[in-house]
Structure 1
Amino acid sequence: MAEKAEGHSTFQGFIRLAMTLPQTAAEAFKGKYACWKASQLLIKERRPFGWKETAAHSIRDQLDKLLSDRNRIRDSAFGKEEAAAPLSPEDRDIVKSIRESVLDANRSNITRTEAYYDCYREFPELHWSFLAHMVSRNAGWNMTDLKGGLLSDVVTDQLREDMYQMLERSNALIFLDAYPQLLLYIHSRRLGRSLFHLMPEFRVSAFMRPFWERFWIERDSALLAVGLIINEQNYIEGRVIQNSYFQKNILRSAVFTLHSRFQMNQIIFPMLVRHPDPAIDEVVQNVAVSPYEEAGESPEKCEAGPNSCRGMVGLILEHFSNLEERIAFGKALYAMLFGYKEVLTGVQAFAAATAHRGSRQEYWPKLFTSDKKAALNSPQESTELLKSEWLPRGKRFYSPPLNEVWHDMAYEPVTSYDWFKTKTAIDQVTRPKRSVFIEMTHAHRFAVQKTALTHDAERAVTTCSDDAP
């Protein structure tokens, strides 16, 4: 009799899950229109990139000549030739200092993210450093998702560990390559002389040398950012993306494939500032913030004070495994962040006011909580999410701080090789293009909804399996 009751309960769970699908689809359609409307207002005022095509053309010519020269010299001999020049005592001290700084700041996603932001705050012309800071925040959120309330029941322990390893290794390797370049620029500024001849000491690709030398003279922020985007994605391509273990166990897995197919590979940049233009503020408010009366509580405030989080901008990466698509995606993120005045102002305000700890509570405290005891623990999480725009206390999704669920990792020494061997990267040195559909608040919430549906379906299947004789 008890078994019959349990089977009936499981069947009812499937029915409740199926009944949410029409409402979920309706919400998605409504959200697309609202986000389109909000996007049109956010993109009204463009910021100039300062992109100079003549400078880009010059860089492409230099890279083409460099590649031709390298084809006449064996790669190993070329690398040794660059690194063989004796260093002055001052240069040796600088190299030692930078290596120590990189080692200290590369401990975790938290320390890396903070280090990127420190560089940008001191030298705002380093646009890429702020872009990297915001993308690194997303990496931290993705890492903690693996042990949060929505994914912990869906992903196996082994897959969770593998996905964390891939995310963490990508985050750490990019930092290991890029942060010394940023520090070389900072030391150059402080000393008043270029130090980019020291890049081979940090195994930086020869691809980056022309970008930094040009930047030292003309401060072409957009051109440098494009160069770094191309460089870093190529840097992790061979070391992470094409790694046979990650290919087999993650990138070709059913979970990762569905994640991409459902458009859940999102990079989002929260914005904080209440806009002085009532039209923009009203539209974004309607998309991002709903009243709490249904939940019976008053609105919460973000860390910055009276200005609540006013939605977010972002883009969706369709095919993470594709190098060219990742590069185009990075350039589009840069164009979105630095190409629109309202976006840059709002994202900067969020970054300045919100410490990065890895919990999604940082930008959506009305959906997520870092307190596991106060978090929702229900087999029908998607149903709870459909009841109202936000969740009341005690029914919010668990999103832990990163350092509470993952430990710092040590890595084996990175093999030295220069990825720059073909002309493909030269052709990618082009002006970033601004996207126009950038408001992502509802699309991001819909991704959370889809994750919740996956969670509920998994719980229902698990219950059904447990009920089976």
Structure 2
Amino acid sequence: MRCRKPKTSSLPLSLVDLYRELKKKRKKEATTISQRDLTAKEQQLIRRIRAVTAEQNENNVTRTAAYLAFYLRHREIHWAFLGHMVSRNGGWNMTDLKGELLMRLLSEGERQSFFAFLERGNWLIFQDIYPQFLLYEESKKRGEPLFYLLPWLGVSTFMETVWHHFWRRGDPYMLAIALVVNEQSYLESRVIQHPTFRQTVFQTLEFKLQELLCLNHILFPHDDGRGGTALVGQTLHQFESLHERILLGKRLYSILFDEEETLENAVRWAVHHPHTGSRKDYWPQLFNDVCESFPREPYRRRIRDCQIVPGAPRLYSPQLRHAWKNVVHEAAEPGDWFTDPHVVRYLVKPERPTNGEIVNAYCETLEKMELAIIAKHAFFHAR
């Protein structure tokens, strides 16, 4: 990752110590230590953390629920709720591939490739971040930091340094954005730049990713105060850019956490609407997890101003458990992404709030997909 090098004088005092510690860590040679160097109790704790993580990492629904449960236990770990809400979007993107619109636009091979891409990223993030959460939880229980054990869990030296800093200073924003930086950097070589996904997803589906799929819309439902659901969110236009994904994470954090009322409305909504993977979770007036239409019928437009045209069937959006089987993953590729302490500049809080308006852009995408289906049908029947 290329970062413009900050002068320490340009950093807030709260980050200067972290920057200096990261600079020291970069200069130290990595040493590999065997499990024999841990005490029996430490080895037992590592095994338990790995076992619990594997159990909760079964699929997108279990991961998403685990993030929320952890956040409700430890409200100071803001990323747990941010991760919960973003993971919901991952699940919706997965089930879209078996839903009403994309079933008509993408081939079976394209849908399988795109699911593999989404699932691998979702799985990798969880197996990296959830052990960090469990170790933090155990540290709180014992009243002493245990973050020196993070290398045995395959966690970057960047996060080991950040967790120690958080333990001393307790800055929830710093920790949350550091986790954003870590997770997106962790994914960069393992998913975004992985040769398989470059070939089967980014090169093959480049146009469709940008123009037709909802991958670039991140939606955060929350209680609207009138018994309904409102949406806020952001749109990402350069998914392949690590820098842009990190900046998106910062904007998404701002949407959720800048206003206490928005946060509490979102938490309340999340608790009262368990994640199923179906978009019916937030818009039952537009989506249903039971198919209401006949699959062989020519598609006719149903969406007008984000509402279903009177008399038309709702869009099919299946639950994840009905859409995809659980995946057995290969172990995560080893390696530490951290090489440059100047990534600390991402942890500086922006002064401007983020505008969370997303509904119009999302509705336009749905309508584009409808038009693409109709155009595709007309093209093939005109030949």
TM over 0.5: yes
Kindly indicate whether residue 146 of structure 2 is the aligned counterpart of residue 195 of structure 1. Answer: yes
Q: Give 1:157 deviation, angstroms.
A: 0.8
* Aligned residue number for residue 353 of structure 1: 272
Aligned length: 371
* CA distance in structure 2 between the aligned counterparts of 1:388 and 1:422, rounded to whole angstroms: 45
The question of whether the paired residues in 1 share the 8 Å contact of 2:285 and 2:314 is answered with: yes
Supply the AA of the counterpart residue of 1:260: Q
State the partner residue of 2:327. Answer: 409
Contact 1:334 1:432 in 2 (8 A): no
Asked if the contact 1:106/1:176 (under 8 Å) is kept, the reply is yes
Match among 350, 359, 364 for residue 441 of structure 1:
359
Residues 144, 401 of structure 1: 8 Å contact kept: yes
**Distance verdict in 2 for CA 1:426–1:218, change over 3 Å:** closer
**Shift, 1:263, TM fit:** 8.8
Match status 1:340 vs 2:259: yes
| 1:174 matched residue in structure 2 | 125
Q: Which runs of 5+ in 2 are unaligned?
A: 1-10
1:250 match: 201
Report the AA paired with residue 334 of structure 1.
Y
d(CA) in 2 for partners of 1:204 and 1:59?
17
Deviation at 1:410, TM superposition (A): 0.6
The answer for the alignment partner of 2:69 in structure 1 is 118
Matches of 1:342 and 1:442, distance apart in 2: 23
Change (3 A) 1:89 1:400: same
Classify 1:391/1:236 alpha carbon distance in 2 versus 1 (closer, same or farther; 3 Å): same
Q: What amino acid is the match of 1:169? A: R
Q: Would you say the 8 A contact 1:376–1:394 is kept in 2? A: no
Structure 1 residues 425 and 115, CA, compared in 2 at 3 Å: closer, same or farther? same
Q: What is the one-letter code of the residue matched to 1:231?
A: N
Q: Name the counterpart of 1:141.
A: 92
**2:254–2:354 Cα contact (<8 Å) kept:** no
Q: 1:406 to 1:84 in 2, by over 3 A?
A: closer
Residue in 2 that maps onto 1:230: 181
In structure 2, C-alpha distance between the alignment counterparts of 1:147 and 1:263, rounded to whole Å: 13
Which residue does the alignment assign to 1:371? Answer: 290
Cα distance between partner residues in 2 of 1:436 and 1:316: 12
Aligned residue among 66, 83, 91 for 2:25: 66
Paired position in structure 2 for 1:22: none
Structure 1 residues 80 and 433, CA gap change in structure 2 (3 angstroms): farther
- Superposition RMSD on alpha carbons, in Å? 2.1
**Alpha-carbon offset, residue 316 of structure 1:** 0.5
* Matching residue of 1:80: 32
Distance 1:208 1:446 in 2: 39
Contact 1:369 1:375 in 2 (8 A): no
Q: Secondary structure at the match of 2:105?
A: coil
Contact 1:215 1:224 in 2 (8 A): yes
In structure 2, what residue type is equivalent to 1:138?
A: N
Partners of 2:350 and 2:293 in 1: how far apart? 41
Q: How many Å apart are 1:389 and its aligned residue?
A: 2.7
Q: Greater shift after overlay, 313-322 or 390-399?
A: 390-399
- Secondary structure of 1:271's partner? strand
Q: Which amino acid aligns with 2:63?
A: R
Aligned residue runs from structure 1 range 8-407, under 5 A? 53-67=12-26, 69-70=27-28, 73=29, 78-81=30-33, 86-253=37-204, 255-261=205-211, 264=214, 265-274=216-225, 307-309=227-229, 311-372=230-291, 374-375=292-293, 377=295, 378-381=297-300, 383-386=301-304, 389-392=307-310, 395-407=313-325
Superposed CA offset, 1:121-171 (max 9, x none): 001001000000000000000000001000001111111101000000000
> Do the aligned partners of residues 129 and 115 (structure 1) sit closer, same or farther apart at CA in structure 2, a change above 3 Å counting?
same
The CA deviation at 1:64 is 1.7
Residues 109 and 168, structure 1, Cα contact 8 Å, conserved in 2: yes
For the Cα contact (< 8 Å) 1:331–1:433, is it kept in 2?
A: no
Q: 1:140 to 1:432 in 2, by over 3 A?
A: farther
Q: Which has the higher contact order (CA 8 A, sep 6+)?
A: 1
Instruction: Tell me how far apart the structure 1 counterparts of residues 347 and 306 of structure 2 sit (CA, whole Å).
Output: 46
Instruction: Indicate the SS of the match to 2:355.
Output: coil
Q: Which moved more, 1:115-124 or 1:410-419?
A: 410-419
Structure 2 partner of 1:35 = none
Shift of residue 423, structure 1, vs aligned partner: 4.2
442 and 133 in structure 1: CA distance in 2 versus 1, 3 angstrom threshold: same
Q: Which protein shows a greater Rg?
A: 1
Please list the CA deviations of residues 340-363 of structure 1 after superposition, one character each: whole Å capped at 9, or x if unmatched: 233212211210110101000000
Contact 2:285 2:307 in 1 (8 A): no
State how far apart, in whole Å, the 2-side matches of 1:435 and 1:163 are.
33
Q: Which residue of 2 aligns with 1:47?
A: none
Code of the residue aligned with 2:318 in structure 1: it is: P
The answer to whether the 8 A contact 1:266-1:314 is kept is yes
- What SS does the corresponding residue of 1:358 show, helix, strand or coil? coil
Rate the CA distance shift 1:53–1:408 in 2: closer, same or farther, 3 A: same
Q: Name 1:23's counterpart in structure 2.
A: none
Gap change, CA 1:388 and 1:444, over 3 Å in 2: closer
